[in-house]
Amino acid sequence: MFGPPGAGKGTQATFLSQKYRIPQISTGDILRNAEKQGTPLGKKAKTYMNRGALVPDEVVIGIIEERIKQEDCKQGFILDGFPRTLAQAEALEKLLEKRKTPLSHVINLKVNDDELVKRSAARRVCESCNAVYSLLVNPPKVDEKCDACGTELIQRDDDKEEVVRSRLKVYAEKTMPLLDFYAKRRLLRDVDGSRPIEEVKKSILKTVETKK
């Protein structure tokens, strides 16, 4: 799943993961969990994530390499938030060549910057069970509390407007070049991510099924 911060990659990746029964691999979630647990990786990643910068390539590539070796990835997997730089894309290509499991699709969710800032500012997460809410489209039943476990919801630092703007700038500089990288390999599928979630789901399914 490809697209700028707040485009809905996680939501759509979760949907596809459930439909096709293959794991969703989110580098962001892995890094945030490491940060929460206070591991060396988490402490290192936090300094980058809290200011909207990218975590160094070697750290993220190592995480992905270890994750896709696991048993549940044998039938396929969905990458959510990776790769984000050309170096990561090239490293991923080599990893997958070794496994003889090339990428089948790169779904690019297209959303304009102002909409992305609005979406991110409205996002809330539960630190206990990792449930994600949007105050715009799926707010919790009780204000600022998780429906599932009742824990107080938080706004992540990387969802605050100034950080989101910084992340979008980094995305434009570092990640946008990947569009050409995957377009040349005929893997890129553009989807309008600004529409309602269900409409985006249908478009992605149509694209995946048509190209399967």
What is the pLDDT at residue 212?
52
Q: Report the distance separating Cα 181 and Cα 123, nearest Å.
A: 31
pLDDT at 211 over 70: no
Q: What's the burial of 66, exposed, middle or buried (CB within 10 Å: 0-12/13-18/19+)?
A: exposed
Tell me: pLDDT of 38 over 90.
no
53: pLDDT confidence band, cut at 50, 70 and 90?
Answer: confident
Q: Position 4: which residue type? A: P
The identity of residue 54, as a single letter, is: L
Q: 């609005």: which residue's tokens?
A: 118
Residue 21 lies in a domain: yes
- Catalytic positions, written as ranges: 9, 84, 123, 156, 167
Q: Is the per-residue pLDDT at 56 higher than 70?
A: yes
Tokens of residue 74, six digits: 């044998």
Rounded CA gap, 145 and 176, in Å? 36
Does residue 3 form part of some domain? no
pLDDT given for residue 194 in this prediction: 94
Grouping H, G, I as helix, E, B as strand and the rest as coil, residue 176 is coil
Question: What's the CATH code of the domain at 101?
Answer: 3.40.50.300
Mind listing the pLDDT tens digit for each residue in 166-187? 989 988 988 889 999 999 999 9
Could you tell me if residue 69 is left (phi over 0), alpha (psi between -120 and 50 degrees) or otherwise beta?
A: alpha
Q: Would you say the C-alpha torsion 30, 109, 181, 17 has a positive or negative sign?
A: positive
Q: In this predicted structure, what is the pLDDT of residue 195?
A: 94
Residue range(s) defining the domain that contains residue 80: 9-211
End-to-end alpha-carbon separation of the chain, Å? 16
Claim: this prediction has a pTM higher than 0.85? no
- Structural domain contains residue 2: no
Give 174's DSSP letter: I
* Long-range contacts at 118-123 (CB < 8 A, ≥ 24 apart): 119/6, 119/8, 120/5, 120/6, 120/159, 120/160, 120/161, 120/164, 121/155, 121/159, 121/160, 121/161, 121/164, 123/6, 123/155, 123/156, 123/159
Question: Domains in the chain: how many in total?
Answer: 1
Residue 161 tokens read as 């407007």
Assess if residue 1 is contained within a domain.
no
Report yes or no on 181 lying in a domain: yes
Question: Where do runs of H (alpha helix) occur along 55-176?
Answer: 57-68, 86-99, 113-121, 161-170
Q: Does the pLDDT at position 35 exceed 80?
A: no
Q: What is the pLDDT of residues 88-136, one digit of tens each?
A: 999 999 999 988 889 999 999 999 999 999 999 999 999 899 888 999 9
CA distance 126 to 152: 7
The verdict on residue 4 lying in a domain is no
